[in-house]
Amino acid sequence: MTRTPQTLLHEILRDLARFGADSSGGVSRLLYTPAWREAHDHLAGVMQRLGLRVEADRVGNLYGRLDGSTPDAPVVLTGSHLDTVTRGGTLDGAYGIAAGIEALVWLRDTWGTPRRPLEVVAFCEEEGSRFPLMCWGSGNVTGMNDCREAGRHRAADGVTLKEAMEAAGFGRATQRESRRTDLGVYVEAHIEQGILLERRGKRIGIVEAIVGQRRLGVTVGGSANHAGTTPMDLRRDALAGVAEMILELEALAVRAGPPLVATVGHVEMRPNTPNVIPGSVMFTLDIRHTNEERLASFCAAVLERFATLAERRGLTLEHAQRSSAQPAPMDARLRDALQSLCEERGLSYQRMVSGAGHDAQMFRSVCPAGMLFVPSRNGVSHSPEEYSSPEALADGLEVLGGLLHRLAYQGLLDG
């Protein structure tokens, strides 16, 4: 098999990086924002010019399609997500879309019409950065989310998901429904966003499973008194209580050991004024583990400790689960196919767990799913410093192209 070209891949990544480019040198392309909308339009134009059949669905997932010679055969789908975190990088999500487009074009130009329909998708949202949910795009495709719930989700600035979606031109009844029942397999290429591949000197990561995760919002309430006139012993300082909770969470996570990770990534203070004792503090918890039971029991233990800490200081405590994902094993046949593709090409590989959530996990109960990683420099992601070498990006494209060839042209999983 000839090596796939990489011209398109780099062109698409370079162009997408412009949409949402921010002052940090990174990219902030949050769901349904003007930057996101421009990237969406740009990508639709690119795929159209390349001769793919382009269509967006009701929530704004964008597809490019090659029809198959067996039209009713289950669709082979690849892709990733178009949104980024705030001050993120240029590869998270974008790489899987760009590699998917390049792979489709290369397969068509080399091997002609596929047997099974072959599609690349740019999911509208995966990160959970603007609204308190994750994988809104792939969730609507797989039936885990429903477009009609969009009025219930609200961004920090008060805008509902429904309002944002409609402002971006989506959510109309005349647009194609998002739910797909014609999918045969989903395959995703992604940067690792961790340091394992780099540390082990491996070129491809073959994902065995994606961790399960819980995301919670916790609100701690005290008294917003004057910072100058309230003696230390008469304070009910919500932030001091939250500081204890943050350190307790860290200690519990370290004690639980890998693969458990726990993070407080978002904090909102009220009134957030230098000379006022914090009256209330809202923060998020992000907790992950490959084992569903251990994940659940850790979360319960954390919340119990938080309640004790809050009570000791006379603070109120509220918490609500914002999202939840079960651990998702990847399909064994796809893992084996990825391994044999690496072996054929002489690419070193690592079977591994994904600590990051991905769109691929949403296909758990819909169709087989597979995932490959390429190394991230220093393991850094969700940051303007996110980087993978051109060689690494080419390796991933090569293996993705090979897998899609086996799936759409050679009958892997057909039986």
Q: How many CA atoms lie within 13 A of 313 on its CB side?
A: 25
Residue with tokens 């659940």: 296
229 binds a copy of itself (CB under 8 A): yes
d(CA 205, CA 372): 5
Phi, psi (5° rounding) for residue 250? -60, -45
Q: Which is nearer to a copy of itself, 102 or 192 (CB)?
A: 192
**Interaction mask 104-143, a copy of itself, x per CB under 8 A:** -----------------------xxx--------------
Q: In the complex, what is the shortest distance from the CB of residue 285 to a copy of itself, in angstroms, rounded to a whole number?
A: 8
Contacts with a copy of itself by CB under 8 A: the residue count is 70
* Candidate list 160, 219, 263, 291; residue touching a copy of itself; CB under 8 A: 263
User: Per-residue x/- mask for a copy of itself, residues 293 to 332, rule CB under 8 A?
Assistant: ----------------------------------------
Q: Which of 239, 296, 303, 347 binds a copy of itself (CB under 8 A)?
A: 239
- DSSP reduced 3-state for 182: coil
Least Å distance between CB 366 and a copy of itself? 22
Read off the tokens for 43. Answer: 């990508």
Joined tokens for residue 145: 């989310």
Q: How far apart are CA 122 and CA 97, in angstroms?
A: 6
Residues 285 and 249 sit within 8 Å (Cβ to Cβ): yes
Among 71, 233, 293, 346, indicate the residue that binds a copy of itself (CB under 8 A).
233
Of 176-215, binders to a copy of itself (CB under 8 A) are: 192-195, 211, 213, 215
94 binds a copy of itself (CB under 8 A): no
Q: Is 80 in the site for a copy of itself (CB under 8 A)?
A: no
Distances (CA, A) of 22 to 17, 36, 108, 191: 10, 13, 36, 21
Handedness of CA 204, 208, 211, 212 (dihedral sign): positive
Alpha helices in 168-291 (DSSP H): 196-200, 238-256
| Residue 265 CB neighbour total at 10 angstroms | 11
Residue 215 CB, nearest approach to a copy of itself (Å):
6
Which of 277, 309, 362, 399 is close enough to bind a copy of itself by CB under 8 A? 277
Cα separation, 381 vs 392, whole angstroms: 15
What residue ranges in 358-410 does DSSP mark as E strands? Answer: 369-374
C-beta of 234: minimal distance to a copy of itself in Å? 7
Residue 85 binding a copy of itself, by CB under 8 A: yes
CA end-to-end span of the chain: 24
Binding residues among 242-261 for a copy of itself as defined by CB under 8 A: 242-244, 246-247, 250, 253-254, 258-261
Dihedral angle, C-alpha 11, 178, 135, 26, nearest 10 °: 30
Quick one: which segment of 5-13, 265-273, 326-334, 406-414 binds a copy of itself (CB under 8 A)?
Answer: 265-273
Which residues make up the interface to a copy of itself (CB under 8 A)? 85-88, 127-129, 192-195, 211, 213, 215, 223-234, 237, 239-240, 242-244, 246-247, 250, 253-254, 258-267, 269-279, 284, 286, 288, 354-357, 379-383
